[in-house]
Structure 1
Amino acid sequence: MSQTVQSLSPAAFKAVIADKSVQLVDVRTAQEYAQGTIEHALLMDVSSVDFEQEIEKLDSSSPVAVFCHSGVRSLYAATVLAERGFPAIYNLTGGIINWQ
């Protein structure tokens, strides 16, 4: 895996997303997102056929923090973002279930 992807503990992830230049992306489904997300997170469903087009809405020169339910889908999304050349990608280890 690319060294641009870092999996972080909830505490480290919280510190990273406190930086307003970091783009926060929830890669779960709209239904999961509606049940609650992290404040200011953008919804980009990684399982959607439009995911690759959604990525183009992000600023590719800024870091991105991604999360999902348990950390599996977000790790996949992080890999896709790394392939697109984002400078730094942060993945929430254990996903949103680990967040509280």
Structure 2
Amino acid sequence: MSIFSFLFKEQNLPDAIAILDREDYKSAISKGKVQLVDVRTKREFMSGHIKGAKNIDFFQGSAFDASVAKMKKDMPLYIYCQSGNRSKRAAKRLVELGFSKIYDLRGGYSSWSY
């Protein structure tokens, strides 16, 4: 992997996935009722989370798939994890499960300071 591809790895994401900085993310989720999912563990979630987020642990595999299956695939889905890495993996899984638009928080919850 070249340094160029490493620096611009977000470009390899499916079109259905967008990475938003915290200002754009905050603005988007504050505009009304949205599907907001924290993909961290329950313990991480309990230590602090974005108001209104539903905790669906990505590490739970089939339980994760079953929980997100109950959500609307044609509505935007906003996700985040602790640093942004796990949520990128979760976003790719969500595309495989049929979600059409996923917004991920750049830097994860660790970048959230509201």
TM-score calculated relative to the size of structure 1:
0.93
Per-residue CA distance 1:22-53 (angstroms, 9 max, x = gap): 20000000000001100000000000131111
- Does structure 2 conserve the Cα–Cα contact (< 8 Å) formed by 1:24 and 1:40? yes
Larger radius of gyration: 2
| 2:60 alignment counterpart | 48
2:4 paired residue number = none
Identity between Structure 1 and Structure 2 (%): 36
RMSD, aligned CA: 1.1
Q: Which moved more, 1:34-43 or 1:16-25?
A: 16-25
Cα distance in structure 1, aligned partners of 2:28 and 2:105? 10
Conserved 8 A contact 1:25-1:41: yes
4+ runs of 1 displaced by more than 3 Å?
Answer: none
Partners of 1:19 and 1:27 in 2: how far apart? Answer: 21
Q: Is 2:27 the counterpart of 1:36?
A: no
SS of the residue aligned with 1:47? helix
Shift of 1:21: 4.2
- Does the 8 Å contact 1:22/1:65 carry over to 2? yes
In structure 2, the residue matched to 1:4 is 16
Which position in structure 1 is the counterpart of 2:31?
Answer: 19
- Which runs of 5 or more residues in structure 1 are unaligned? none
Answer yes or no: is 1:91 the counterpart of 2:104: yes
